Amino acid sequence: MGPGERWIFGRGVELRPHSVGDPIFVGEWAEYIANHQPETVARYFTVIETSDAQVAVVHLDGRLARIIAPSNRVLYWKGAVNVTFEIVEVRAEPGVPARLLPGLVRLSRESGATFAAIEEGKRGLLYLDGRLTREREPGTYGFWNTIAMPRIEVLETRRQAVEVSGQEIPTQDKVAVRVNISAVFEIADANR
């Protein structure tokens, strides 16, 4: 029933009012209604459902508002706000699209993503569940962490100098020789 006054006669009738001020319908009847009342769902709700390899990016009135994790169903009231969403296959593409990065950064922990900024002169190595998957150039990246654990290892690729000073090494005839070592190196291939 929509808003208004109603007279209902009969035994065992129970009314439970719900506020559409909160756009998400939550309650003990949500799953029942979603599974057994398709007409009610079609009339009053926008249903967002994800599989075990998907996330849903939800926009309320055009602004990114929430990420729905894999294997979930959420019912949004129709009419309270304009709800739009996009389903992302996170197993096929673990990288967050660049257009979503600013909004997801704003959501922080609720974003379902891990973020990395790789500075100029460095390379990033992306590991998913402990396995090296690809190399990344300088830039800002996000990776979905809902079904895999991403880790970015950042390597300096510019030329670097290392100095080891003041090491005393005894010779065969027991004379101490002080050695200073200076080396210059750079990483030519980050994957290796």
Q: What is the pLDDT of residues 70-97, one digit of tens each?
A: 999 999 988 878 999 999 999 888 899 9
With beta carbons less than 8 A apart as the criterion, state whether 115 and 140 touch. Answer: yes
Q: Tell me how far apart the alpha carbons of residues 36 and 159 are, in angstroms, rounded to a whole number.
A: 65
Q: Tell me how far apart the alpha carbons of residues 83 and 45 are, in angstroms, rounded to a whole number.
A: 10
Q: Tell me how far apart the alpha carbons of residues 35 and 50 are, in angstroms, rounded to a whole number.
A: 15
Burial 80-110 (b: 16+ CB within 10 A, else e): ebebebeebebeeebbbeeebbebbeeeeee
pLDDT at 174: 85
Q: Tell me how far apart the alpha carbons of residues 126 and 136 are, in angstroms, rounded to a whole number.
A: 7
Asked whether residue 148 is domain-assigned, the answer is: no
Q: Could you tell me the end-to-end alpha-carbon distance of the chain, in angstroms, rounded to an integer? A: 64
Asked whether residue 57 is domain-assigned, the answer is: yes
pLDDT at 154: 92
Asked whether residue 117 is domain-assigned, the answer is: no
pLDDT at 2: 66
Asked whether residue 151 is domain-assigned, the answer is: no
pTM of this prediction?
0.72
Query: In the chain, which residues have pLDDT < 70?
Result: 1-3, 17-18
Q: Tell me how far apart the alpha carbons of residues 95 and 104 are, in angstroms, rounded to a whole number.
A: 12
pLDDT at 50: 94
Tell me the residue ranges of DSSP E strands in the chain.
24-25, 45-49, 54-60, 63-68, 73-77, 83-89, 113-118, 122-128, 131-136, 139-144, 150-156, 160-170, 176-185
With beta carbons less than 8 A apart as the criterion, state whether 55 and 102 touch. Answer: no
Instruction: Please tell me the total count of domains within the chain.
Output: 1
Nearest alpha-carbon partner for 50 in 94, 1, 88: 88
pLDDT at 44: 87
Asked whether residue 98 is domain-assigned, the answer is: no
Asked whether residue 139 is domain-assigned, the answer is: no
Nearest alpha-carbon partner for 143 in 178, 100, 172: 100
Q: Which contiguous run of DSSP H or E holds residue 31? A: helix 30-36
Domain that residue 45 falls in: 18-89
Asked whether residue 28 is domain-assigned, the answer is: yes
